[in-house]
Amino acid sequence: MNHLSNEKSPYLLQHRENPVDWFPWGNGAFEKAKKENKPVFLSIGYSTCHWCHVMAHESFEDKEIAKILNDSFVPVKVDREERPDIDAVYMAVCQAMTGSGGWPMTILMTPDQEPFFAGTYLPKHARYGSPGLMELLEHTVLLWNRDRDRLMQTGQMIVAALNRQEQTSQADDLKTLINRGVQEYKFRFDKQNGGFGTAPKFPAPHNLLFLLEYSQTNNENECLYIAEKTLERMARGGLFDHIGGGFSRYSTDESWLVPHFEKMLYDNAWLVQAYTLAFCITKKDYYREIISRTLAFIRTELTSPDGGFYCGQDADSEGAEGKYYIFSKRELSDVLGDGTERFCHWFGITDDGNFEGKNIPNLLQNKDYAQTPEQIEQLREAVFVYRKNRMALHLDDKILTSWNAMMISSCAKAGFLLDNHTYIEMAERAMQFIESHLFDENGRLMVRYRDGERAFPGNLEDYAFYCLALIDLYQTTFRVRDLKRASELAECMMELFWDAEHGGFYFYGKDDETLIHRPKETYDGAVPSGNSAAAHVLHWLFRLTGETKWMEAARRQADFLSSRAGEAPSGYSYSLLAFLRVQSPAAELVCVSAKTEIPGELSDILRSCTKTPPAVLFKHPENAASLSEAAPFTENYALPESGTMYYFCEGQNCSQPFSDVSQLKKKI
């Protein structure tokens, strides 16, 4: 047994019985490397990663590999999900050195943490043009003993190059960036299958959120079509689990049929937001159904008893990827009896199969997909019960602040816009979990909770997404404490991460461990970057509180992001969405009421709003004092003796207060 047995990370614990003498990231490993003059072998992955499992079985359980690693290196294991700061630094290294990245990530570096080799999955021995881990290790040992200075110089050059990349260029015009981004999406759009580019295809729902809102702000039907086509094909394909609900990580083919079967919390969170906005725009019940089935999966499979959300489910079971999810027609006939043919026809299941001789249920060829018959629902439930008896999928039961915050936002928005209190309750319970378990005794937000332990100082993404979650909860429940908490944590975010000299936010805090590089991530990859999320936080706080400090910070953040987005604007979709909101005439509404409950007609109007949503403040006799603390300008809005008064502003123009709700409907 190695040095991982006392860790909490499910990924690290998967490797605790390897013959490799793994260390967790920390001073112990690097002091050993310095003392023994050995290079460090860094392996980064996560517990539901298929190719991480493959490399573990091929190499890290292999005694021959273990011997050379233990004799000539100091092996270090990192869970990218609980140490995204380390992952961000060395992913930048990997992309700079190889032009691509992914997991498992393999880094060779000096005892001072300076890398001289980067790669991803490596087989034990070279094959099909891919280098082998054994040959790499043997060659590195030879170089370390004969030409160590050269390796050290390589590491120093790479670190210097990384730091040079942080220099910003001239900020581009926001409207120009938005328009260029739209044109790039249109050029890359797959007209036949939806999505962008070729296989593998990732959902990237923040792209779709931008296109949906752009379509409404600019009355632009082509962007709406692109987003809808993609949402429809993803939901009909095998990417969506038609038996148990929820979406897989990505599609391995162009038509969204064959997924990489792991299910991650963050993908499902952002997809819920995209389908919610699409439903609000189109009122198509099919989108509501996808939201319902996805959040049912989250509630039953990825929610802890205390309300926090788990990370995800593995793709593998019984040593095979996707085995849990696929069926032969023959086995279904044993489950469904007389209903077999109807079920198989509905979900495209055949004797020959569509994946390795078996079937991934899908609706790609089903033209009636939007209206599911009651009998199909009953048959689907029978298959779901049957599937539950299979070997259970590995559950990564870490609770991460940033990913929980993303799902809180999604549940809050879906709960309000679809008028479903169950979703709002999910959001509130997860928020309470973070408040109870993920702040330390000094009020510092942390990254991860598992098995009774919170760990690792929160990064920018934790603060930014949790601030957004609190803002979204405020816009759902109008509880002033959520708005005040968002403002408090945004102050902390500015203090810990903001670069006052050059603008932008650093990935990890000034009070955190110092790594070889302090990046400012801006690219919106699988999830939006912390910097783009921070732009939304600053924008919303200014609109909700009226405080000019947030306006100035939002302006500087927009300048910073625009200086990064110029090379390929479509890679910065969540920033583009922030730019779109900055460019659009912003609306603010203060509702002042003699009653403590939000007027039902106001909620109905807000649910029907498809353009950039207004910032809404709700003042009543019981919250007037606390709202004045959170948004000082509201102190001047007098409480009526009865009824409700509306104060509406758009752009820099405010109308006279009015009480006629039909007038409000026209304005919004």
Percent of the chain, pLDDT > 70?
Answer: 99
- What's the predicted TM-score (pTM) here? 0.94
Quick one: pLDDT at residue 477?
Answer: 95
**Are 97 and 139 in contact, with CB atoms under 8 Å apart?**
no
Question: Whose structure tokens read 């990231």?
Answer: 25
Of 560, 536, 550, the closest CA to residue 487 belongs to: 550
* CA distances (Å), origin 320, targets 50, 54, 284, 526: 9, 10, 37, 25
Check: CB of residue 255 under 8 Å from CB of residue 193. yes
Q: Mapping DSSP to helix (H, G, I), strand (E, B) and coil, where does residue 233 land?
A: helix
Q: Give, in order, the Cα–Cα distances in Å from 421 to each of 281, 404, 488.
A: 21, 18, 27
CA dist 116 and 151 (Å) reads 6
Taking residues 26-48, what's their average pLDDT? Answer: 94
Tell me what pLDDT residue 389 has. Answer: 93
Write the CB contacts of 91 (distance below 8 Å, at least 6 apart in sequence).
Answer: 101, 105
For position 126, what pLDDT does the model report?
Answer: 85
Per residue, the 3-state secondary structure of 69-114, as one string, reads: HHHHCEEEEEECCCCHHHHHHHHHHHHHHHCCCCCCEEEEECCCCC
**Which residues neighbour 404 within 8 Å (Cβ) at sequence distance 6 or greater?**
265, 308, 309, 430, 433, 434, 469
- Backbone phi, psi, residue 149, to 5°: -60, -35
Question: Which run of H or of E encompasses 472?
Answer: helix 460-477
Residue 525 tokens read as: 């990859």
Helix (H) or strand (E) holding 199, with range, is none
Given a cut of 70, is residue 167 above it in pLDDT? no
Query: Could you tell me what percent of the chain has a pLDDT over 90?
Result: 81
Give backbone dihedrals phi and psi of 416, rounded to 5 degrees, phi first. -75, -50
C-alpha 112/C-alpha 335 separation (Å) is 59
Confidence band for 611, pLDDT divided at 50, 70 and 90: confident
Q: pLDDT at position 130, please?
A: 74
Q: If DSSP codes are grouped into helix, strand and coil, which group holds residue 660?
A: coil
Question: What is d(CA 66, CA 34) in angstroms, rounded to the nearest whole number?
Answer: 20
Alpha carbon separation from 132 to 55, 120, 121, 236 (Å, rounded): 11, 11, 9, 39
**pLDDT at site 131:** 82
| Sign (positive or negative) of CA dihedral 102, 104, 109, 113 | positive
Q: Which residues pair with 13 in a beta bridge?
A: none
Query: Which amino acid is it at 431?
Result: M
Which pLDDT band holds residue 247 (cuts at 50, 70, 90)? very high
Match 């991530």 to its residue by tokens: 521
SS3 668: coil
Q: Cα(82)–Cα(206) distance, rounded to whole angstroms?
A: 23
> Tens of pLDDT along 376-392?
999 999 999 999 999 88
CA–CA dist 612, 605 (Å, integer): 13
- Whether 89 and 462 have beta carbons less than 8 Å apart is answered as no
- What is the chain's mean pLDDT, rounded? 93
Kindly calculate the radius of gyration of the chain based on its CA atoms and give it in whole angstroms: 26
Q: What is the DSSP string of 263-323?
A: EEHHHHHHHHHHHHHHHHHH--HHHHHHHHHHHHHHHHHSB-TTSPBP-EE-SEETTEETT
How far is residue 419's CA from residue 413's CA, in Å, rounded to a whole number? 9
Whether the pLDDT of residue 667 is over 90: the answer is no
Residue type present at position 96: A
> In this predicted structure, what is the pLDDT of residue 166?
63
* CA 612 vs CA 281, 528, 535, 566, 604: distances in Å: 12, 19, 15, 24, 16
Segment 441-464 mean pLDDT: 97
Segment 127-162, tens digit of pLDDT? 877 789 999 999 999 999 998 888 889 888 888 888
| pLDDT of 495 strictly over 70 | yes
Identity of the amino acid at 382: A
Predicted pLDDT at 198? 93
pLDDT of 170 reads: 66
Q: In what order do the strands lie in the sheet with 653-654?
A: 615-619, 587-593, 644-650, 653-654
Q: Cα separation of 101 and 120, whole Å? A: 7
Cα angle 572, 577, 578; round to 5: 100
- Which residues partner with 139 through β-bridges? none
More confident residue, 540 or 130: 540
Strands in 483-608 per DSSP E: 587-593
- The pLDDT score that the predictor gives to residue 609 is 80
Per-residue confidence band for 455, with pLDDT thresholds at 50, 70 and 90: very high
